[in-house]
Structure 1
Amino acid sequence: MKVTVLTGPQGSGKSTVMREEAIAQPGLYLFASPTHELIEEQVDAFKRDAPNLDLWPVHSKRGGKGKVAERLAVARDKLIADGARHAVILTTHDTMMGSDLSVFAGWHARIDEAPAAVQAGTFNISEMRTALKERFDLHSKPGHDWASLSLKGEKPSWKKLQKSLGAKELVEFYKQAANPARVFVRTPDWDATDDIDWFSIWSPLELAGFGSVQIAGSGYTSSVGYLGAKALFDDLLEFNEREVPVVRSSQPSISIHYYTDSHRGSTTFWGTPEGRLQIKHVCDHLSVTLPKASFWSGNPVVQNLMEHRLKGDLIMASAAGLNKHRNRQHCAIIFSGKATNADKGMMGVFGLDKDDIERSREDELIRQFVMRGAIRNPAFGGAYDIYVYEKVQADRLKGHFEDLLFANVELVPVTEAGLMKVRRKSDGPTEQEKAAKKADRNKKAADRQRAKRATDATAAGREVGKPGNPKLRTGSKTGIK
């Protein structure tokens, strides 16, 4: 199966290229975007460029009878019944990945931005083993650690599952497992173990019936979804990259501000009293630094501490593709997307390490987020300020900008916030502290040796600190003549 991937810098116009080609080349198209906001941006652009084109936006905010997946099928059936030859249905990634798209055979799939195609986790099944047996069949092969799942009967009610204490943390698992061959668990049998690793993966293979498939995303080829699809289905998928370049007419002055060079941020750390204190320091600084015409975001644990304290707009951290903030010159993204214990099973199957996960989740999200502002405009040549948590993130972002040929990028340490040299207790001592401790141990050992030699010399009748054999005592029997 062939998949075309439109690559290029954020803001290069990949979404525009897909839209313009869909207008110029008559056919039936299914567009999928990460959010309803981005869908509405595309709808407005389609209406502007092709007023007579038949458009069907289908998402939860649009309303209508039935579930979104059902409305998607209704829109398709209506277009087919009307004999439509040129039309576009627009929906979300979640709806696309959660629907049976076999009825769209022959259509053209256009996916804007990289979907969140992989989920992973681990849980103890000792109290829900019977329920899992009743709901799912396991399909395993001899000698394989992992088995795929298939749902028995109809899809469960997610609302009812969420009300169940035992299923509250497993709703995502149940949702993904409702799709055939989507979820894999590390056990050949429900009775073989109590602790289960699982992962789910959506791949473009689920669009095999479409006439053509395009994915537009600057970070798609480094996403976990792409890497997982390559690891599992490399012999079935052929990805062809097509670059959409951008030519800047002006060079902005970009300042990347960071708060610490002595520890890494994480949601686990920020959930502790020690970590919340560091976020408080960041929040105190941003509350007097960010102007009203700014945008900011972070992990939920960060948002909860910052909301109603910062000026500007709180937006989704994964604000990929949006253009509504491109006149703003200040943004802050206090975010961590590092690998967790829940990722270990999936990482082993895909052949990934912690750096792969961090680049895919953290680095790419930060890049997408900061490119929502004024620097998205190739003609912008003013000042642009970005605030991130740690120097590692600032360094990587600076390198990314230099790869995109931004000429004026500087790093700015925010020492006044008070956490630049703070280290987490779990990080242990620095290399400098280790060296000082080793030097102290060596000095104490040398002091003990000197004291021992002094004691031995005194006992032997030799002057302390003088080399040589001890003096002979009068009347001693040495046997020497």
Structure 2
Amino acid sequence: MKKPLIYYYTDGACGTGKTYQALSKIAMAGGRHLFVVESKKVMLERQSNLTAISIETGRYMPSLAIMSDDDRTTKRLGVRRRIHDLATDYANRSDMCVFITHEGMRMCDFTEFAGWSIWIDEVPDIMDSESLSIGVSRVMLDSLYSLAPILKDDGTPTGWSEVLCRDAGVDLAMIASDDIACGLRALHRRVMEAKDTGRRSVIVNGNDWSEFDAQNRCNWFSLWSPLHVSMFTNVTFLANAFTDSLTFQIMRSMWPSITWQEVRTNSTRHFEPRRVTIHYYADGHVASRKLFSSEQGQDNLRKVCQDINDRVGDRPHIWMCNKADADTVKLPGTQLSPRQAGSNDYAAVTAATCIYSVKPDSDQRKVYELLGVDSDYYTETHERETILQFMCRTAIRDPKSAANLDFYVYDKTQADYLLRYFERDERGYAVAGTVMHDLGFAKIERKVGRPAITRTPDEKRELARQRKAASRARKAA
């Protein structure tokens, strides 16, 4: 009987000690562990945390951080190769904790990691992509994989293709043992998974390998499957509001064979009562690159900045914005880059601002559509989750702080996302509420998306006929 696939998760709010307790378990229990974090900076912080815990407990746990720029050997072999080699390099070591990034996890194959445990800190992005120059290696790719053109509903080509395996006899073991092809391990696993599930797994921006010459790069996209870490003895996700994320909803829907089991932290931290006020400035429209690049949008941002300046005053304040808006957004305090997940450097700050927008363009929407994922996932992962992580770097993570906090965002969708995060916590982590400030543009509506197309009944029937014919053609192919 096949062993049930159980993944564990801890999704308590920031400041509840999820990461500290996970590192403590690693230090005390020993064994071989892969600890996955969002960035190189956080990787080094977590490694330092583990060392401190080891000294504190008297239980030494050796550790290693794998990144792309630490020495010449790394540059030569590459992160991917170094991660793959861990399984053999440390096969006879009883204790080892290796820190890698989310990107490193997505691009690797872990078939040989039985006996290891993996800890995934923060919500991972399950969309993966890579841009490759394959002027020579396209010949090898052509011998391994065929390209099946993806058609529109009317039967015309989209310009994209699904990558399919030509020879089912070429398995992962053969790819892994080949010194030239071993870099294709993660890609090959995904292509083989598509064959097993019938779900489109890898798509590429072309219809024939010969299209990818020196001037035309090969761009492939795929969904990272949580089954890619199923060989680990234990799989644990550590993330704020993990079960509320679209990442979790997609994984639970697309991979129903996984059973998800919560592990609650044994946190004894008592959080002082404090109030979080989430301020926003737009209700009828949302933040977007198109808006912020316009004269009207820049005028809106200047008004927002003036209002935030008046409200924040001399309080400790951190803020971030899109790089394209740096000349327009002028705020007091400390400006940071958007990606601050995992940092504890600003735990005394009581005010934070995110004037930030990340929306998918038409090409990105097409990729998500072709892989069967709602494009709103892109906005939640790249915009709203980034805002949440930024806000959680403040005094909200300090249990001893009773100071009230003020968070500033541009639109209601961003404010509501933050509000849901605080409302879901059962411990009274913080009392949160939203406030809209109408500076004269809050209710202005902006048209988004494609214009509606009006069709006659005959045109609708003809379109339905074309879609059915295209569907039959795809199935026949």
What is the TM-score normalised by the length of structure 2? 0.69
CA distance in 2, matches of 1:275, 1:188: 37
Q: What letter corresponds to residue 10 of structure 2 in structure 1?
A: L
Do residues 32 (structure 1) and 44 (structure 2) align? Answer: no
Aligned to 2:118: 109
Aligned to 1:11: 15
Tell me how far 1:188 sits from its aligned partner: 10
2:162 to 144, 147, 150: 147
Distance 1:330 1:226, change over 3 A: same
Distance 1:114 1:329, change over 3 A: same
* Equivalent pairs, count: 400
Aligned to 1:365: 386
CA distance in 1, matches of 2:266, 2:294: 44
Tell me how far 1:99 sits from its aligned partner: 3.1
Q: What letter corresponds to residue 57 of structure 1 in structure 2?
A: A
Q: Which has the larger radius of gyration?
A: 1
Matches within 5 A, 1:117-156: 117-119=126-128, 134=139, 136-137=141-142, 138-139=145-146, 147-148=162-163
Tell me how far 1:327 sits from its aligned partner: 1.3
Partner secondary structure for residue 108 of structure 1: strand
List per-residue Cα deviations over 1:48-75 (Å, max 9, x = no partner). 1103321112224544522351444566
CA distance in 2, matches of 1:284, 1:244: 42
Aligned to 1:56: 64
Do residues 97 (structure 1) and 120 (structure 2) align? Answer: no
Tell me how far 1:382 sits from its aligned partner: 0.9
CA distance in 2, matches of 1:392, 1:77: 47
Aligned to 1:65: 73
Q: What letter corresponds to residue 256 of structure 1 in structure 2?
A: I
Aligned to 2:317: 294
Distance 1:238 1:114, change over 3 A: same
CA distance in 1, matches of 2:229, 2:289: 35
CA distance in 1, matches of 2:36, 2:328: 33
Gaps of 5+ in 2: 153-160, 166-174, 194-200, 212-217, 451-477
CA distance in 1, matches of 2:336, 2:86: 30
Do the aligned partners of 1:120 and 1:342 also contact (CA within 8 Å) in 2?
A: no
CA distance in 2, matches of 1:352, 1:214: 24
Aligned to 2:202: 184
| More moved, 381-390 vs 7-16 | 7-16
CA distance in 2, matches of 1:410, 1:226: 26
CA distance in 2, matches of 1:71, 1:198: 23
List per-residue Cα deviations over 1:350-384 (Å, max 9, x = no partner). 65545555445443332222121101122321121
List per-residue Cα deviations over 1:396-436 (Å, max 9, x = no partner). 423432222355434333445x54355547699xxxxxxxx
CA distance in 1, matches of 2:140, 2:334: 43
Do residues 84 (structure 1) and 93 (structure 2) align? Answer: yes
1:253 to 262, 271, 275: 275
Aligned to 2:432: 409
Distance 1:323 1:175, change over 3 A: farther
CA distance in 1, matches of 2:430, 2:31: 42
CA distance in 2, matches of 1:144, 1:424: 32
2:405 to 376, 384, 407: 384
Matches within 5 A, 1:197-212: 199-212=221-234
Distance 1:120 1:37, change over 3 A: closer
Q: What letter corresponds to residue 238 of structure 1 in structure 2?
A: T
Gaps of 5+ in 1: 158-173, 429-481
| More moved, 145-154 vs 53-62 | 145-154
Aligned to 2:168: none
Distance 1:296 1:353, change over 3 A: same
CA distance in 2, matches of 1:176, 1:337: 28
The CA RMSD measured in Å over matched residues stands at 4.3
Q: What letter corresponds to residue 92 of structure 1 in structure 2?
A: T
Distance 1:369 1:316, change over 3 A: same
Tell me how far 1:287 sits from its aligned partner: 5.2
2:297 to 245, 263, 275: 275
Distance 1:155 1:424, change over 3 A: farther
Do the aligned partners of 1:98 and 1:179 also contact (CA within 8 Å) in 2?
A: no
CA distance in 1, matches of 2:117, 2:249: 23
Matches within 5 A, 1:332-481: 332-338=353-359, 340-345=361-366, 347-348=368-369, 352-353=373-374, 358-404=379-425, 405-406=428-429, 408-415=431-438, 419-424=441-446
| More moved, 213-222 vs 59-68 | 59-68
Distance 1:201 1:324, change over 3 A: same
Do the aligned partners of 2:147 and 2:208 also contact (CA within 8 Å) in 1?
A: no
Distance 1:282 1:53, change over 3 A: same
